[in-house]
Amino acid sequence: MSILTDQNRSYYNLTELKTDSDNRSMASKTPVGFIGLGNMGRPMAKNLLRNGYPVIATDVFPESRKELQDLGAQVFDTPADVAEKADRILTMLPSSPNVIEVYTGANGILKKVKKGTLLIDSSTIDPAVSREMAVAAEKMGAVFMDAPVSGGVGAASLAKLTFMVGGPKEEYQAAQELLTCMGANVVYCGAVGTGQAAKICNNMLLAIGMIGTAETMNLGIRLGLDPKLLAQILNMSSGRCWSSDSYNPVPGVMEGVPSGNNYQGGFGTTLMAKDLGLAQSTATNTKTPVPLGSLAHQIYRVMCARGYANKDFSSVFQFLREEEGQ
């Protein structure tokens, strides 16, 4: 399930955001490098193959490489090897240290990158690291863009991801050509790092809205309001937010959301805690006060410590409710 759900549909009507896949020539495509074949990277790389791009891939785990190889990708041992063969490379990695290693490590991309190569990093990391990578790439004559995604494994498989892209405007079209093979929406955000910034900002506000909705619904129920009626009132009023109208955390209020399925599926608390940690670090580094974002981070961090790590992040409703029998 995607964090960005039906609401995204409106994207398609926004001319400036529209992608134009018709112009892409389907013949004689040059190979695309792909580094990081995890839960997200694998389906993304497959979608490149499906769109007719030869893929040159690597991953630290041989079995991940093997799977792509079986689907027709050419696989190599190191990022540097990939950089020798491809002049457009995507990376999809778990965290900042991995990105630093894959780009600037002993066998990193930048050891062998060709001049003019387009490097697109879809990892969710600190925007300051994105900017560092961009500087390092530029020294080698290459271009680095950040393009983190919204949407989970399902959206990756269905090529329904949303990409938020930061980097030089003049390279955006080239990036967009590849990203539209893997996502339904591609948004240009500005200079390098702003893709990360947009994702971090969205997820911080999302967390605040979700916890706020959970405590508000809980309070209303304690005060004698019917949860469905309360949700209806909020959604017609100024309390309305995505968590109240599209992903309500109270079991029984909405269908098709994790709260109706014992908080299985969806976007895990541990992932939200990670994104809030990035928001916190970024805010700390830029000396920006984020009082609610900071408290939201702490709440999800405590939840991770109290058995909610793998539940959907809307389980904060359950966390705040009184236990049975108390």
Q: Which is nearer to a copy of itself, 77 or 226 (CB)?
A: 226
As measured in angstroms, the least distance from the Cβ of 41 to a copy of itself is 22
Q: Does 224 bind a copy of itself (CB under 8 A)?
A: yes
Strands 161-166 and 88-91: unpaired
Closest-CA residue to 149 (of 138, 165, 130):
165
Integer Cα distance of 285 and 129 in angstroms: 12
Helices 269-285 and 127-139 sit at what angle, rounded to 10 degrees?
Answer: 70
Among 110, 106, 94, residue whose Cα is nearest residue 59: 94
75 contacts a copy of itself (rule: CB under 8 A): no
Under rule CB under 8 A, residue 134 binds a copy of itself: no
Q: Is 86 left (phi over 0), alpha (psi -120 to 50) or beta?
A: beta
Residue of 43, 152, 209, 249 interacting with a copy of itself (CB under 8 A): 209
Among 100, 225, 254, 265, binds a copy of itself (CB under 8 A): 225
Nearer to a copy of itself by C-beta: 41 or 127? 127
Using CB under 8 A as the binding rule, whether residue 184 contacts a copy of itself is answered as: no
Look at the alpha carbons of 275, 281, 285, 288 in this order and tell me if their dihedral is positive or negative.
Answer: positive
Does the footprint of a copy of itself cover residue 304 (CB under 8 A)? yes
Please state, in angstroms and rounded to a whole number, the distance separating the CA atoms of residues 315 and 41. 27
Q: Nearest approach, Cβ of 204 to a copy of itself (angstroms)?
A: 6
305 touches a copy of itself by CB under 8 A: yes
Q: How far is the CB of 67 from a copy of itself (least distance, A)?
A: 30
**β-bridge pairing 118-121 and 149-150:** unpaired
Stretch that binds a copy of itself, among 21-29, 62-70, 138-146, 232-240 (CB under 8 A): 232-240
Looking at residue 5, its amino acid is T
Q: Return the DSSP state at 165.
A: E
Q: Which of 72, 222, 252, 262 binds a copy of itself (CB under 8 A)?
A: 222
Instruction: Say how far apart CA 183 and CA 26 lie, in whole Å.
Output: 17
Give the range of 31-39, 45-53, 82-90, 211-219 binding a copy of itself by CB under 8 A. Answer: 211-219
Minimum CB distance to a copy of itself smaller for 69 or for 294: 294
Smallest separation (angstroms) from a copy of itself to the CB of 295: 6
Residue 105 lies near a copy of itself (rule: CB under 8 A): no
Which of 98, 297, 311, 312 lies at the binding interface for a copy of itself (CB under 8 A)? 297
Q: Nearest approach, Cβ of 262 to a copy of itself (angstroms)?
A: 18
* CB-CB neighbours of 265 under 10 Å: 14
* Helix, strand or coil, per DSSP, at residue 9: helix
Per CB under 8 A, 154 contacts a copy of itself = no
- Note whether 256 and 299 are within 8 A (CB): no
Name which of 301, 208, 218 is nearest 259 in CA terms: 218
Q: Report the 10 Å Cβ neighbour count for 64.
A: 20
Q: What is the CA radius of gyration of the chain?
A: 21
Q: What is the DSSP letter of 238?
A: T
Out of 14, 52, 62, 66, point to the residue binding a copy of itself (CB under 8 A).
14
Region from 33-41, 171-179, 182-190, 255-263 binding a copy of itself, contact rule CB under 8 A: 182-190
Query: Does residue number 296 form part of the binding site for a copy of itself (CB under 8 A)?
Result: yes
* 215 belongs to the binding site for a copy of itself (CB under 8 A): yes
Catalytic residue set:
199
100 binds a copy of itself (CB under 8 A): no
